[in-house]
Structure 1
Amino acid sequence: MIGSLNEKVVEKLLTYPPQAWCRAYFDTVCENYGVENNFTESVNKWILEPRGKPIIKMLEEIRIKVMNQLREREDEVRFWATEFSPKSMQLYNEYRKIAKKCKVHFNGDYGYEITEGLDRHTVSMTLKRCTCRQWDLNGIPCPHAIKAMMYKKLDPLSEMSWWYSKEAFLLTYKNKLQPVRGEKFWKVGPSQAMEPPELVKRPGRPKIKRVREKDEAIKRQGEWASSRKGRIMTCNNCREPSHNVKGCKKVK
């Protein structure tokens, strides 16, 4: 499908190991089929203001932000309406709707054959696996597994991964950062004292934005701007190419 849009993209993609981008090769240990760099981007945006400050000021502001966030996230988890995270329950409910449209065939042992439209998958209740691999990858029973459990009059939520539970999330936010007094009360030994580096004024305005990759688009004023490399210069005076107004020989 990608090749029908751009063959060069496929050639570039195949230079990377499939374990890094293809769900068919993902392991089932993490129970998460997402593979992106959104977490790093989110952190960079979250600390955008503090990271431009001196190292100690930056770390102090990040510490306070983390301390407050741990408390806010824990309070949010305590008020969940269910024993599992809202996002996992949203996906689970969508799976249940799909499961109602599926048909089940049981072999009398532990194997189930689930028909979904023109597609068909097999579910093993002993291995807790489905050939669609959704249950294996994200730990949430897929529509086919839900249909098999409903056939056996079992509660599909009992097979939801523990990592989505309220208990797991509360353990994540259990350990808090302790408040500290002001900087003048810090006890720092001479051997641990941090001396500032010598100031060296560099030419030009200091950079604030991060350095972007060559093939990464730059967003300006709501529009995606591309590089000017390879463009032909046009004179605003005579409208002829390959020079600008300063080098124009025609009289204005």
Structure 2
Amino acid sequence: MAELKAYNPQAYATLQLTNPLTWSRAFFKIGTCCNDNLNNLSESFNITIRQARKKPLLDLLEDIRRQCMVRNAKRFLIADRLKTRFTKRAHAEIEKIIAGAGNCQRLMARHNIHEVSSNGVNYRVDMNQRICGCRKWQMVGIPCIHAACVIIGKKEKVEDYVSDYYTKIRWRETYRDGIMPVQGMPLWPRLNRLPVLPPPWRKGNP
């Protein structure tokens, strides 16, 4: 940010207005096991409900509920049939980390703390607290290339240092209960109250 301010003060001022606390990984909470700062989730949700948004409110909500119910059920089936210890994406990330660890150099220190050099930068890796100076390990829950370099150097498995959030067991627990079906509207209990009245007729544009 200091370099940006020196290069272009106007760009710096404009960027500050966007509240970097909400999108910069430098301010992300440690231990969340997520470093995603994109809006893919909301974009995916909007595409999914594009047909439901054309319906009246109650039908819209029922349509979204059904989609969520079916999606959760499908996710549970996928998780239940999984034969590996971790999810598919987690395994791909672990393999990428192991491959990248080959470009690092490890130097031992006392108390299970190591100094790892990567691309001309040194990082402190504390294996007891499971933290790295790059912050990725404690932020994502999967060891970074620096931590993986230490783990491999100690002839241990990188998988043993991955957060259990990425395991098949946790994935199944997430979708275990899902969303329960709802009876059709004619079968809903009557509350002996006035039905919803239509809005009053009026002239002019809607």
Matches within 5 A, 1:80-159: 80-159=82-161
**Aligned with 2:72 (options 53, 64, 70):** 70
Change in Cα spacing, 1:167 to 1:137, as seen in structure 2 (3 Å) is same
1:85-118, CA deviations, whole angstroms, 9 ceiling, x for partnerless residues? 2112212211111101211111143111111231
Q: Report deviation, 1:32.
A: 1.3
Consecutive unaligned residues of structure 2, counting only runs of 5 or more, are none
Whose helix proportion is higher, 1 or 2?
Answer: 2
Q: Provide the residue aligned with 2:199 in structure 1.
A: 198
More RCO (CA 8 Å, sep 6+): 2
Which residue of the partner structure matches residue 61 of structure 1?
63
Share of identical aligned residues, percent? Answer: 26
Shift in Å, 1:29: 2.9
When the two chains are superposed, the root-mean-square deviation of aligned CA atoms in Å is: 2.5
Residues 114 and 43 (structure 1), Cα distance of their counterparts in 2 relative to 1, 3 Å cut = same
Tell which deviates more after alignment, 69-78 or 21-30: 21-30
Whole-Å separation in 2 of the counterparts to 1:85 and 1:146 = 19
* Match of residue 177 from structure 2: 175
Deviates more, 1:151-160 or 1:175-184: 175-184
Partner of 2:164: 162
For 2:22 and 2:70, the matched residues in 1 are separated by 34
> Secondary structure of the equivalent of 2:17?
coil
Q: CA deviation at 1:54?
A: 1.2
Secondary structure in structure 2 of the residue aligned to 1:190: coil
CA–CA separation in structure 2 for the residues paired with 1:80 and 1:6: 51
Q: Structure 2: how far apart are the matches of 1:71 and 1:12?
A: 44
| Residue type of the alignment partner of 2:44 | S
Deviations 1:175-232 (A, max 9, x none): 13233333211113124x651440657637xxxxxxxxxxxxxxxxxxxxxxxxxxxx
Q: Is there any run of 5+ residues in structure 1 with no aligned partner, and where?
A: 205-252
Q: For the pair shown, which has the larger CA radius of gyration, 1 or 2?
A: 1
TM-score, normalisation: structure 2: 0.86
Distance 1:179 1:137 in 2: 37
